[in-house]
Every structure is written in C-alpha cells, then in structure tokens.
Chains A and B, each alone.
Chain A
Amino acid sequence: MKSEIDTVIQRTQRYWYVDGLGEMAVGLMLAIFGLYFSLFPLFENQNLGLAVALGQPVLLLLLWWLGGKAVRALKERITYPRTGYVLVARKKKPLSRLALAAITAMVVGALVGLIQAFAAGSRLIIPTVVGAFLAFSVAIIGRRFGLARFYVLAAYTFGIGLLTGILSLTETQQNTFLFAMFGLGWIISGAVTFARYLASTRPPNGDIP
C-alpha cells in the first residue's frame, strides 16, 4: 500500500510532466524523425542515400539535445513563474543522461533497422513489435510517476504499431507513418496537458521570497 509520504514523493518527482511541454517536444522529435524517412526515396544516388541513412542517429541525438534546451527555456518562461522551480535529482554519473540518449538512439535505430531488414516478409509483425516496445516503455513511465495519461498514450502507441502493420504501405510509407503518428499522439497529449495546466494555474500575486 502506498503511504502518504510515497504519494508526495511521486507527485514531486512527476513535476517535470505537469505542463506537457516535454511530451510535445518528444512528439515533435518523433514526427520529424518519421518524416525524415520520407526523404530516403528522394536520393537515388547511393552515396547520398547512405549518408542520409547514417545521419539518422545523429539527427535523433541533435533533436534530443535541441528539444531539451527548448523545453527548459519554455519552463523558465511559463512553468516556473506560475508553479515554482524544482531542481530534479540527478544521478551522480554526469554521463548518464547522454548515455540514456545514446541508448535510446541505438534502440530506435536497431528497431528501424529491423523494420527495414524484415519489412518484406513481416510487414505486420515488425511495426507491431516496435509499437509494443515503445508502448511498454511509455507504460513504465506512467507507472513510475503515477501518470494515468501515459497509459492512454501506451495503448495508442500499441494501436498505431498494429495499424501500421495492417495497412498496405510501402516500406518508406510504413516508417514515416509509424513515427509520425507516434509523434502526433505525444504532441496531442502534451498540448491537452499544457492547455489544462494554463487554465488551472496563475502566477502568484505579490512578491515571493
């Protein structure tokens, strides 16, 4: 049974998600990543095509970095003046966040590689597996921080994976659709959360020490 102390700790730790800005940034990142796939057929030159394909992990890391900077800047302007500033506990190893980003990039890259390698024979299975993997990850975040909307997002993510497999799409269309739709879900979830946050909070009156 969760105690009142555990509830307060969990509520404090999920403060990062209170405004939906992080979700919108992740959604935008996934959508751009998905749209990047649609560039592939444009490069018939093999060398250029290879460069575009190899640029994917770099793009993902760049988007992650830019997204983090944008979210922090927006929080400084919108969230912290309204509901306060929280310095999230960081792990002691300074490389842990970068390592997390690199691992995520590698996992997504490997999943995409799997899609490309087996797409001809397993058009249904691979997107479903990718969807299930990402849905599981989202559900873990939901459970860790007690965020009910992340369970909805997990169900949506799994559904999109399944739908992508069912639709008769080419390999490029499949990849574009899958990640763009994942991104759209995150953006909508973040936008709804953001609108509700703005409607329910006001900057404080008077000076705050």
Chain B
Amino acid sequence: MTAGLHSISGVDRLIHEPARMMIVTILYAVEGADFLYLLRETGLTKGNLSAHLGKLEEAGYVKIEKIFRGKVPQTLLSLTPGGRAAFETYREQLKQIVQSLSKE
C-alpha cells in the first residue's frame, strides 16, 4: 500500500461519509444554520438529515439547539469547537493525501 493510500485509513470516518461531510462543511463556513437551510443545501430527506445530525451530535461535533427567533420555533445547528477542530484536521489530511498521491 502506498503512503497516500495508507493515510486514507487514518481520516475521520464520521466526517468522511459524503452526506455528513457536506453538513460539516456547511456548518464550518458559518456560525450556525437552521434545519431548513441544511435540508435544501444537502438535498437529503428530513429523516436522513436528522439521522446524520444525530450521529454528529453523539460524537460531540454538532450542537443542536431549539430556539425561538421572534415567534418562530427553530432548530439551530452549529459546529462545536471539537467539531471544528475535527473538520480542520480532516481537511488537512485530505490535502496531504491528494498531494502525496499526485507526487506518486
């Protein structure tokens, strides 16, 4: 196994799943987003999105808050500091993998 391929096994598998990577990437770009925004951007179904968010929350990567904006109830989602750090590590690992594969 090449070094590039070997390092793939070290990436965070929780984030590496495409739908969750999309969710984490979106949340990384902002301070927070609501359920509707994530639903539209990811193209997932409500159930699927909820399931992925549940896993990310369980891992301590995502904070889920039920809030009221004015009179409107809302689910606000944001990355925790741990989630942000995990995504940065994951992103850095991906870059290194791509670089090492392009050298080989």
Contact = CB atoms under 8 A, between A and B. Distances in A.
A binds B: yes
Interface of A: 3, 5, 8-13, 15, 76, 80, 83-90, 204, 208-209
A205 B91 CA distance: 35
Given A8-B22, A76-B70, A209-B46, A84 B38 contact: yes
Contacts of B96: none
Contact of B34 (A5, A11, A84, A89): A84
9 contacts: A8-B22, A10-B29, A12-B25, A76-B69, A84-B33, A85-B34, A85-B69, A87-B78, A209-B35
Given A12-B41, A209-B46, A85 B74 contact: yes
Contact of B29 (A80, A89, A204, A209): A89
A87 B30 contact: yes
A76 B69 CA distance: 9
Contacts of B31: 87-90
A80 to B, nearest CB: 8
B30 A83 contact: no
Q: In the complex, which range does the number of interface residues on chain B fall in?
A: 20 to 34
Contacts, number: 76
B86 interface: no
Interface string B70-99: 100011101000000000000100100000
A5 B91 contact: yes
A84 B36 contact: yes
Contacts of A88: 30-31
Given A8-B26, A9-B25, A76-B70, A86 B33 contact: yes
B99 to A, nearest CB: 12
